[in-house]
Amino acid sequence: MLGLDLPTILREISIIAVPGILAITLHEVAHGWVARLFGDQTAAERGRLSLNPLRHVDPIGTVLVPTTLLLATGGQIGFGWAKPVPVDKNRLRRPRRDMVAVALAGPASNLLMASVWAALGALTVGTVGYEGAVGGWLAGVCIFGIWINALLAAFNLLPIPPLDGSRVVLAFLPRAIADRIERFEIFGLIIVVALLWYGWLGRLVEPIFLRINDFFSSFTGLA
C-alpha cells in the first residue's frame, strides 16, 4: 500500500478487515466447537470458544512473525497464525477418530465462509451492482472473503505438522509412528517457514487454492 493516499489505505483496510478477522477467528473456534461436541471441554474451559478476535491473538504468530517477514521482504511475503485453540485429545471419546473431525473443522469453516461470501457477492451483483462506490466496496469485501478463506483452507490441508492436514494423516498411521512425529511438531513449523521463504510453499498451496477460489468465485458474477 506504499504510495497510496490515506482514504485509499483506509478503504483497503476496511475491505480486508472483516472477512480476514472472521476467517482466522472462526477457523480456530471451529476446532474448539467440534472438540467439545466429541467430549473435550478444554477450549470452553479456557474461554477460547469466543468470537472476540483478541482471544486468538498470538504475540509471535500474529504479530512478530508476519511483521518481520513483511519488513524483511519489502512486503512480498506475509505469513502468520492465530493462537491455536487448545484440544486435549485424551478427553475425546475416541481420540484418533475424533481428532480427524476436529482437524477438518477448521478448513471446513473456511469453505463454509467462502460459500457465504460467494452468496453475498452474487446478491451484490444482482442488486446494487459493482460499479458504484457502495457496490464496488461490497464486491471487494466478498472477493477478499472468498480469497482469504480459500487460501486458509488450502494451506491448512497440507499434511505438514502442525497444520490440520497432518492431524488427519497421523490418525491413519500406526500409533507409535504418529506419537513420534507429534513430538517433533515444532520442526514442522520451521519447515513451513522455510518452504515459504524459498517460494516452495506457494507451489504446494496454489493448485488447491486456485480450485477452491475459482469454484466459489464463479457463483458471484465477479470473477
Active-site residue list: 28
* Residue in the structure block whose three cell numbers are 490418525: 171
Instruction: Spell out the alpha helix ranges (H) of the chain.
Output: 6-37, 42-45, 65-72, 95-126, 133-156, 164-171, 175-183, 185-197, 200-217
The amino acid at 20: G
188, three cell numbers: 514442522
Question: Are 149 and 117 spatial neighbours (Cβ–Cβ below 8 Å)?
Answer: yes
Task: Give the C-alpha separation, 188 to 165, whole Å.
Answer: 12
